[in-house]
Structure 1
Amino acid sequence: MKKLPKLSFWQIWNVSFGFLGIQMGFALQSANVSRILSNLGADLHALPLFWIAAPLMGLIVQPIVGSASDRTWNRFGRRGPYILGGAIVAAISMFLMPNASVVVSVMPVLLFGLFMFALMDGSFNITMQPFRALVADMTPSEQRNLGYSTQSFLINAGAVLGSILPFILTNVLNIANTSDPGTVAPSVIWSFYIGGSILLLSVIWTVLRTKEYPPEEYAEYKGLDQTKETDPRYKGFIGFFRLLRITPKTMLQLAIVQFFSWFALYIMWVYTTPAVSQHVWGEAIGESASQGAQDAGDWVGILFAGYSLFAALFSTQMSKLANQLGRKTVYSITLLIGGIAYISTLFFQGGDMVHLNLLFTQVDVPSSAVMWMIPMIGIGIAWAGILAMPYAILSESIPADKMGVFMGIFNFTIAGPQILSGLVAGSILKYFFDGEAIFMLVIAGVSMILGAISVFFVKTNN
């Protein structure tokens, strides 16, 4: 078996560069979809049900795309066609999502908003899944930590840009961040236009600058027998379920960790905006949201940019730490820090308005809003670990000829806990916490700590 050649840093960079734009789009979705759906008329307690569309699309799309990309080869490569195709649909979806109110004569505006949310997230998944497999395809084992850490850095750099974009448009370019009932603020609309464009351009860069190995060469590097027919037992719909029976044990053990960490992340994405609005600004959100609630929504973009920035910075050192301490140790510590950070948000409430200089603009916010940046450090560290360590661990236990499909199946461990969270979170908020969203972040913290403990039950030599 030929040894897979090492890549230069910039080759590794190009392999994942498209993730910069994808995560920019995903960050805009994470920070603004609750706000968009609320402005279009969604009830606070129903938001988790709307958000189920995101993991449900991932649950359906990623295994299919992963399996198909394992068997694909054309002028754009093995993973490239899916990365590019998904990016085109994602960009179109981002252009349409904030304009749901325009089609009110065709279908109910909220239904259209939900449909575009599902389409947007589904196309994100089409694009994201091959990126995970592409790193494993292109990097030798000794560069795997660097490959996924670089991917984590680019993901979070894109998230920073996506998270702060509505805030910059409002406070630097003076684009309005308020809207009439049933419509979306212009700052959010233009953010989605810009984000969709950058997403498409960055993915095109990866597709054009990354030369995937042809099937024969790939087989030599991975020790595969090109003359051997694909096992017919694993073909088709029934074959997919047979494939589940040979799922690597490492994946099953990581699934427990993934359950707790992604349950927590889903809660954060759904409830940070109402939590900040209620707990810091003392304002409710909804179809007729006040100026304070809209300002809170903009500030959540800054907070999400903060945790993404801290994640990007931590990602630059994570590969070294994983090489020194081991992947499992780094993974567990990052989740523990994140869990403590979620719980700490409970202690930052209200306060007098303070004048804040953000270099590119100046704003007045409650004093506790500034303090919320402290837990964002811990959440960013956890996010960096979640984006890199499980994939680095998993890639060592997956057969090379099934890398795409198993990476897609692994998405079950991401989508499943989010779907469950979407089904139960609204009831928990309503019946246990009387609509106080801040306590949902405490629940997220407890879940993340349980994930940190679960890491030690994962059996691996790394």
Structure 2
Amino acid sequence: MQKKQLSFWQIWNMSFGFLGIQFGFALQNANTSRIFETLGADVEDIPILWIAAPVTGLIIQPIIGYMSDRTWTKLGRRKPYFLVGAILSSIALFIMPNSPSLWVAAGTLWLMDASINISMEPFRAFVGDNLPERQRTLGFAMQSFFIGIGAVAGSLLPYIFTNYIGLSNTAPEGIIPPSVKWSFYVGGIVFLLAVLWTVFSSKEYSPEELAAFEAAEKLDEAATDGRIEEANRKKSIKKQQVYGIGMIILGGIITYLIYSNNLTKELYILFVGLVIFGMLFLLAAILRNQQIKNGFTIIVTDLLNMPKTMKQLAWVQFFSWFALFSMWIYTTQAVTGHVFGETDTTTEAYNDAADWVTVMFTVYNGVAAAVAFLLPVLARRTSNKVTHLLALSFGGVGLISIYFLGDKVGLLLSMVGVGIAWASILSIPYAMLSGSLPASKMGYYMGVFNFFIVIPQIVAATILGFLVKELFNNEPVYALIVGGCAMILAGFLTLGVSTNRKININE
């Protein structure tokens, strides 16, 4: 029994919800730093305020993936999570621009990012569930297309409201401008409607059908020699214990050095987090030694027992998303301060420059949508690895070039390279990964893969704040240069990724 090949419009419908998800995500990315700064945040504190987003993703996505693998309702398997996440995200989008204080805005970002993650994570597994392997590249490309379109509209809204509707882009100190507020209101409505379209226009395979698709793989798993499986399990537990102890020791030593040398407080998040991760590894090892298997042990253990392709792609994702997060955090400050020389958030010049950042983000997302279906063509003529290398190289050069530019048109050109990289980041790694994942664990493996999107964002939020303050003299544009170099490095690391199907799971 094989999955049916879906038509173009069926793939269109099942991907349409990403239009709304990215609409909200784009509003968050392009305007959150501006909202924080308007409510009184210092530039060196902005990364720590952003930390809510990646931390939330680190916790939420694996859990949602694990749960959605085991959920069956009249509405479907993944679709209940699409819907709940969309409702919560829409509420958060209405609250965010009305935050009366900085701490309320930071808390709302936490709620908003958690809700977006609830909707977004199952969409990746949705492709693996519904499409045969030969159509998955098209499925991920379709998602990239809607991500680009949604992000274009979301990023451009404040500019449109200011220049074509007539809403003001300035406000008294501590108040979010009307153009930004109405952009978030529209975003909340679009988010919900787009996800509802996918929920009611797409079908999911029944448990019986998916069981039939997976029957051959389960037979292969059942044929595994029990003694070898048990030996591998014990070896895996020992490895987990060693990793856990190592992370606790390393994190503890560096945390002490941070404390004793009175270094910037953001560094605590990274290295105290390493200690906590080590403790989780040890706890999972203890439970597995007692023959206890549950969602917690599976999620933690899969960090060690990932397919080879997934481990190699982890480094590609790490440096790619480190670069993206540096862009999302610091582009507004780099453009307003370095390019246009404005730092007063109450002036019209500052807000005009900040509005231009939304146009820049519109361009890179528009380019991503435009090239989404060209990347699979290039990959067929060369390879996924070469295609990703070229795309990330364009993106890295685009980020670095912002330092040397002094006009609006040049800034838009820099975003063309970023857009090409963004389209590839959203599709090529997933196309390379999907063939190495067991179908029965698609949801939580996609969730675990999100670790390598989230962890670099946590690293960026902690390390970049330190670098900008201590080494770059509070000049955020240098953070974009670091990000550009990281993106180029990610491209070259892609060349070492193995694309053969090898699944190794030792529970």
TM-score, structure 1 as length reference: 0.91
Pairing 1:14-413 to 2, within 5 Å after superposition: 14-101=13-100, 109-223=101-215, 234-285=293-344, 288-349=345-406, 368-413=407-452
- Inter-partner Cα distance in structure 1 for 2:158 and 2:298: 46
Equivalent residue letter for 2:167 = I
Equivalent residue letter for 1:89 = L
Query: Which of 444, 455, 464 is the aligned partner of 1:425?
Result: 464
The Cα of 1:151 is off from its aligned counterpart by: 0.6
- Superposition RMSD in Å: 1.7
CA contact (8 A) 1:216 1:226 kept: no
Q: Confirm whether residue 449 of structure 1 aligns to residue 488 of structure 2.
A: yes
The Cα of 1:324 is off from its aligned counterpart by: 2.4
The Cα of 1:234 is off from its aligned counterpart by: 4.2
Judging changes above 3 Å, is the alpha-carbon distance between structure 1 residues 226 and 246 closer, same or farther for their aligned structure 2 residues? closer
CA contact (8 A) 2:384 2:428 kept: yes
- Inter-partner Cα distance in structure 2 for 1:149 and 1:382: 13
- Inter-partner Cα distance in structure 2 for 1:73 and 1:456: 39
Judging changes above 3 Å, is the alpha-carbon distance between structure 1 residues 396 and 180 closer, same or farther for their aligned structure 2 residues? same
- Inter-partner Cα distance in structure 2 for 1:321 and 1:13: 21
The Cα of 1:225 is off from its aligned counterpart by: 7.8
Judging changes above 3 Å, is the alpha-carbon distance between structure 1 residues 344 and 336 closer, same or farther for their aligned structure 2 residues? same
Q: Secondary structure at the match of 1:247?
A: coil
Output one character per residue of 1:120-162: Cα deviation in whole Å (capped at 9) or x when no partner: 0111111000000001111111111111011100000000000
Query: Which of 411, 416, 440 is the aligned partner of 2:479?
Result: 440
Equivalent residue letter for 1:373 = L
Output one character per residue of 1:292-345: Cα deviation in whole Å (capped at 9) or x when no partner: 111111110100000000111110211222222221111111111111111111
The Cα of 1:248 is off from its aligned counterpart by: 1.0
Output one character per residue of 1:406-438: Cα deviation in whole Å (capped at 9) or x when no partner: 000011000000001101111211222212222
- Inter-partner Cα distance in structure 1 for 2:299 and 2:415: 40
Unmatched tracts of structure 1, length 5 or more = 102-108, 350-367
- Inter-partner Cα distance in structure 2 for 1:328 and 1:434: 38
- Inter-partner Cα distance in structure 2 for 1:136 and 1:461: 17
Q: Secondary structure at the match of 1:14?
A: helix
CA contact (8 A) 2:312 2:498 kept: yes
Q: Secondary structure at the match of 2:302?
A: helix
- Inter-partner Cα distance in structure 1 for 2:304 and 2:292: 12
Q: Secondary structure at the match of 2:421?
A: helix
The Cα of 1:279 is off from its aligned counterpart by: 2.2
- Inter-partner Cα distance in structure 1 for 2:301 and 2:397: 40
- Inter-partner Cα distance in structure 2 for 1:239 and 1:407: 13
Output one character per residue of 1:252-288: Cα deviation in whole Å (capped at 9) or x when no partner: 1111011111110000000000111012221015xx4
Q: Which residue of 1 aligns with 2:231?
A: none
CA contact (8 A) 2:172 2:346 kept: no
Equivalent residue letter for 1:130 = P
The Cα of 1:226 is off from its aligned counterpart by: 8.8
- Inter-partner Cα distance in structure 2 for 1:371 and 1:223: 55
- Inter-partner Cα distance in structure 1 for 2:67 and 2:380: 33
CA contact (8 A) 1:177 1:185 kept: yes
Q: Secondary structure at the match of 1:372?
A: helix
Aligned length: 433
Equivalent residue letter for 1:455 = T
TM-score, structure 2 as length reference: 0.83
Equivalent residue letter for 1:398 = L
Larger Rg: 1 or 2?
Answer: 2
CA contact (8 A) 1:45 1:429 kept: yes
- Inter-partner Cα distance in structure 1 for 2:300 and 2:436: 19
Identical-pair percentage:
48
